[in-house]
């Protein structure tokens, strides 16, 4: 179903008319003689909560490696990113020597300084 389109101009005119009626009532009340006001006990002011800035997480730098994994996703060997051929060779060796297959996957680790 289509929604009814709101006419902003009509709403604005209604709002202005309501404000004008409110001002007329206030003027009438202001012209009447004022009666003595009784003192009302003021409630103690509550301190506003302080805004707390959240600490911005420090960006951690990552370094890429090639990892040789077995079928159980256990990392067996780790090679530098530039040594991809060595990692593939090691995975092929491990696959040939055992029944399980081995594969390489990109691993990113945080650099500790």
Q: Say how many CA atoms lie within 13 Å of 105 toward its Cβ.
A: 12
Token pair 């009438």 is found at: 28
| DSSP codes, 2-52 | PPPPP-HHHHHHHHHHHHHHHHHHHHHHHHSPPPPPPP-PPPPPPPPPPP-
Number of domains composing the chain: 1
30 domain-assigned: no
Domain membership of residue 75 as a residue range: 62-110
93 domain-assigned: yes
102 domain-assigned: yes
* Model pLDDT for residues 62-85, shown as the tens digit of each residue: 999 999 999 999 999 999 999 999
* Model pLDDT for residues 41-58, shown as the tens digit of each residue: 777 788 888 888 888 888
67 domain-assigned: yes
55 domain-assigned: no
Q: Say how many CA atoms lie within 13 Å of 6 toward its Cβ.
A: 3
90 domain-assigned: yes
């Amino acid at each position: 179903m289509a929604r009814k389109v709101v006419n902003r101009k009509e709403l604005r005119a209604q709002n202005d008319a309501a404000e004008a009626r409110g001002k007329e009532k206030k003027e009438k009340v202001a012209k009447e003689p004022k009666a003595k006001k009784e003192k009302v006990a003021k409630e103690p002011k509550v301190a506003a909560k302080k805004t707390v800035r959240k600490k911005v997480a420090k960006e951690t730098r990552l370094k890429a490696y090639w990892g040789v994994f077995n079928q159980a996703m256990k990392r067996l060997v780790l090679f530098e990113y530039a040594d991809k051929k060595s990692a593939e060779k090691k995975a092929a060796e491990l696959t040939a020597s055992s029944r399980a297959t081995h594969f390489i996957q990109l691993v990113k680790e945080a650099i500790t300084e």
